[in-house]
């Protein structure tokens, strides 16, 4: 427990978080599920970004992007669920950890970037070339998700 953390986080950590920490399977299972989610998310995002950057341009973008987006959303949901368990176990420490805060900020930025790309794609015919803004968004997406994964692995050192 970290002094100075908000009371609600201390209560979360003492209650549900203690259950997660003391379970012989909950924390390790959440950790494994988080990494599986990251792997699936990274793969699906890479597929979408590659298509938006022009790879496989002989295939209409919806045939690639739409199924990959469904997989990415499912993987992100898995990561949010498993990450919530991991957070509960160390809520007071994580909430005040600058690396965790940076990861969460980048996560919000990544979701906003994906929302931007989705908005641009909505008005795009299936056989259209990718606008420069969409290609830039795809490049940014790859960088952001790599940074999020790197920050996630770095949290333990701060």
Is residue 78 one of the residues assigned to a domain? yes
Is residue 99 one of the residues assigned to a domain? yes
Structural domains of the chain, count: 1
Is residue 1 one of the residues assigned to a domain? no
Is residue 2 one of the residues assigned to a domain? no
| Model pTM score | 0.90
In angstroms, the CA 61 to CA 145 distance is 21
pLDDT tens string for the chain (158 positions)?
Answer: 777 789 999 999 999 999 999 999 999 999 999 999 999 999 999 999 999 999 999 999 999 999 999 999 999 999 999 999 999 999 999 999 999 999 999 999 999 999 999 999 998 999 999 999 999 999 999 999 999 999 999 999 99
Domain that holds residue 50: 7-157
């Amino acid at each position: 427990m970290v002094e100075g953390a908000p009371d609600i986080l201390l209560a979360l950590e003492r209650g549900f978080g203690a259950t997660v920490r003391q379970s012989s399977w909950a924390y390790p299972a959440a950790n494994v599920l988080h990494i599986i989610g990251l792997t699936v998310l990274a793969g699906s995002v890479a597929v979408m970004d590659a298509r938006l950057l022009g790879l496989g341009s002989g295939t209409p973008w919806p045939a690639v992007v739409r199924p990959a987006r469904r997989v990415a959303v499912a993987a992100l949901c898995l990561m949010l669920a498993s990450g919530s368990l991991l957070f509960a176990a160390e809520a007071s420490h994580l909430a005040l950890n600058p690396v965790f805060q940076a990861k969460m900020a980048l996560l919000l930025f990544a979701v906003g970037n994906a929302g931007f790309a989705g908005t641009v794609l909505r008005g795009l015919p299936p056989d259209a070339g990718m606008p420069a803004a969409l290609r830039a968004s795809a490049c940014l997406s790859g960088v952001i998700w790599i940074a999020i994964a790197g920050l996630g692995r770095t949290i333990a050192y701060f």
